Chain A
């Protein structure tokens, strides 16, 4: 019998296998979530807290599944031609995030504009911008500021995001999966009231940055983290360059 790898039947591999697993996992999780939501009212007073905790934990698992899906989606190019006007998408994300920044005591300011359209579906572009900027907001100290400078270069749009440095500066290095693995295996010593540990928060941030990086990379963009933030001329942050789409219409989806 031949041992050639060509003798293996065609089976799903890599992302396809993960996609299938996520697909299968989503079915029982939907039942579990709906069941808990419907039973919380019916549960006896002394059991309601347990049901509430079970529901919260289920929602966290669902959040992780959502991140896995986003990562798998980011790994695959979308069909057809996509073209999104960057400035309106950027303003919309800033509008959504500004109240989150305000609640954390961080000022968010967008300066400049650009007319470029970029070859990314609007929903994915919004997601990438949301994750990048939300991480930046999260890293700032109370009273801090995140400045976003949007402009155009010869090849396309340029977004420079600057903030002040804080103790979580590690998150603002290039996403590094070796570091991510290490943080995931560290002993968990602290958790917030929702039960989210500091290590898992850090992992979530890194996964989101990885998703954002992948979405932008597939659009031919470059994302450079840098700046130590210790001096005013060396602010912490990143520079994002997205190539302009030549002749692309400013709409989200165009069938191929």
Chain B
């Protein structure tokens, strides 16, 4: 996929570029609003990652003018403004997603994938990682054909891991997406639920699919690499 980053902070745009390129995307960077708008208009991008606070032309004006010409181009806003009304203003102006600084690259990457998937592929009702299958409609999980009983929260956690299979997920991302709570570094609820899941999904099966990523969080490994 081809992605445009419009961000004036050179250090930040270089890290985002490096991370997205490592995920095999083609990435261009513009560090000024007018330049970003011109590139987005001329080149056929799959996603634009747009900072709001830009020199030249501000991000909101870039977004509004993009929406007049490219109504279906997915745009993710990066901003340091976190108030409800800022979010509403961006979404009302046509942004597809909104990420507040200081964000995690892993979060940006996950959201970029979701936007790219939404614009290119129909939503999958059955998720599969090796011999593990999760049916989102029937609310059923099987591994190697054997049914696995999960609680509602375990199901949601497994779905999030499987949807992001092969990607590292931080505890903050997990608690915010699965529990819909502000991350609290003092709770170990994520670790406890990962253990519950491991007992049901990995114990007695080979290879183990849920892996700890030291210092970061967890990852579902489709290749079943050793932890």
Binding site for B on A (CB under 8 A): 22-23, 26-35, 37-38, 40, 48-49, 51-53, 55-56, 59-60, 62-63, 65-66, 69-70, 73, 76, 78-80, 92, 96-97, 99-100, 103, 121, 123-124, 127, 130, 134, 192, 194, 196, 201, 204, 253
Binding site for A on B (CB under 8 A): 9, 11-12, 15-16, 18-19, 22, 80-85, 88, 100-106, 108, 153, 170, 172, 179-189, 192-193, 214-216
Say whether, besides A29-B102, A48-B215, A253-B88, A63 and B189 are in contact (CB < 8 Å): no
Query: B186 and A52: CB pair below 8 A?
Result: no
Query: A34 and B105: CB pair below 8 A?
Result: yes
Closest to B15 in A: A34
- A56, A73, A121: the one contacting B215 at CB < 8 Å is A56
Query: Measured between C-beta atoms, what is the minimum distance from B169 to chain A in Å?
Result: 11
A92 — which chain B residues lie within 8 A by C-beta?
180
- 12 sampled A-B residue pairs with Cβ under 8 A: A26-B80, A30-B101, A31-B9, A34-B105, A37-B104, A38-B22, A55-B215, A62-B102, A69-B82, A73-B82, A99-B179, A100-B179
Could you say which of B88, B181, B185 has the most chain A C-beta atoms within 10 Å of its C-beta? B185
Query: B182 and A66: CB pair below 8 A?
Result: yes
A-B contact count (CB 8 A): 119
Query: A35 and B186: CB pair below 8 A?
Result: no
A127 CA / B183 CA spacing, docked (Å)? 11
A78 CA / B189 CA spacing, docked (Å)? 32
Query: A103 and B192: CB pair below 8 A?
Result: yes
Query: B215 and A30: CB pair below 8 A?
Result: no
Main secondary structure of the interface of A (DSSP, over half): helix
Say whether, besides A27-B80, A27-B101, A100 and B189 are in contact (CB < 8 Å): yes
Query: B102 and A103: CB pair below 8 A?
Result: no
Closest to A54 in B: B215
Closest to B11 in A: A31
A196 — which chain B residues lie within 8 A by C-beta?
185-186
Query: A26 and B101: CB pair below 8 A?
Result: yes
Query: Measured between C-beta atoms, what is the minimum distance from B49 to chain A in Å?
Result: 12
Query: Measured between C-beta atoms, what is the minimum distance from A104 to chain B in Å?
Result: 8
- A33, A53, A70: the one contacting B104 at CB < 8 Å is A33
A201 CA / B187 CA spacing, docked (Å)? 11
A124 — which chain B residues lie within 8 A by C-beta?
84
A51 CA / B84 CA spacing, docked (Å)? 34
- A31, A69, A76, A127: the one contacting B12 at CB < 8 Å is A31
Could you say which of A31, A49, A52 has the most chain B C-beta atoms within 10 Å of its C-beta? A31
A253 — which chain B residues lie within 8 A by C-beta?
84, 88
Closest to A193 in B: B188
B15 — which chain A residues lie within 8 A by C-beta?
31, 34-35, 38
A49 CA / B215 CA spacing, docked (Å)? 7
Query: A96 and B181: CB pair below 8 A?
Result: yes
Query: Measured between C-beta atoms, what is the minimum distance from B29 to chain A in Å?
Result: 14
Closest to A123 in B: B84
Given A34-B15, A99-B193, A134-B184; 20 other pairs, CB 8 A cutoff: A26-B102, A27-B12, A30-B9, A30-B102, A31-B9, A34-B19, A35-B11, A37-B105, A48-B214, A49-B215, A51-B215, A52-B214, A59-B172, A59-B185, A65-B102, A73-B84, A79-B85, A80-B85, A96-B179, A97-B181
B183 — which chain A residues lie within 8 A by C-beta?
63
Say whether, besides A26-B102, A33-B104, A78-B85, A204 and B216 are in contact (CB < 8 Å): no
B181 — which chain A residues lie within 8 A by C-beta?
96-97, 100, 130
A80 — which chain B residues lie within 8 A by C-beta?
85
